[in-house]
Amino acid sequence: MSERLKPGDTAPAFSLPDADGKQVSLADHLGRKVIVYFYPAALTPGCTKQACDFTDNLDALAGAGYDVLGISPDKPEKLAKFREKEDLRVTLLADPDKEVLTAYGAFGEKSLYGKTVTGVIRSTVVVDEQGRIEHAFYNVKATGHVAKLIRDLSVTL
């Protein structure tokens, strides 16, 4: 079971391919706040709702100084299809080896329909300008999470 991060921890460094296969690293965003959200699978109803919510609020989040990165175990090709089909503007990153998911505590045992399974734990981590964890939310709901996050971060819409 991976260790959950908490405020004050140093955000684990990563470099992952985006939907176009271009490497994106957390270090690219130093000096800006970054919302990193982890989701189980592209092109599924809950994950689509969450990605669309982030896209719909991207301008407000960017205006408040936040970049948004979505990470799933999907391959770049599937992320590209997801982006095109749903007209997404958030940066989607591929972590098929689940190394970053694990480093952030977003992969491990979870309860699914009353059964314990191993998989992606829907999570959102907010990294500050210096690369430290500001907030860490685990087991979040796909629907309504972005609105709650915006309230928690006091982002003006």
Tell me the domains of the chain and their CATH numbers: 15-152 (3.40.30.10)
pTM value > 0.85? yes
Per DSSP, what are the bridge partners of residue 137? 124
pLDDT of residue 2: 61
Q: Give the rounded percent of residues in the chain with a pLDDT score beyond 70.
A: 99
47 is catalytic: yes
- Supply the pLDDT for residue 105: 96
Reported as a single tens digit per residue, the pLDDT across 21-69 is: 999 999 999 999 999 999 999 999 999 999 999 999 999 999 999 999 9
The residue-averaged pLDDT of 143-147 equals: 93
Catalytic residue among 24, 35, 36, 47: 47
pLDDT at 113: 84
What is the phi/psi pair of residue 81, to 5°?
-60, -45
CB 75 within 8 A of CB 94: yes
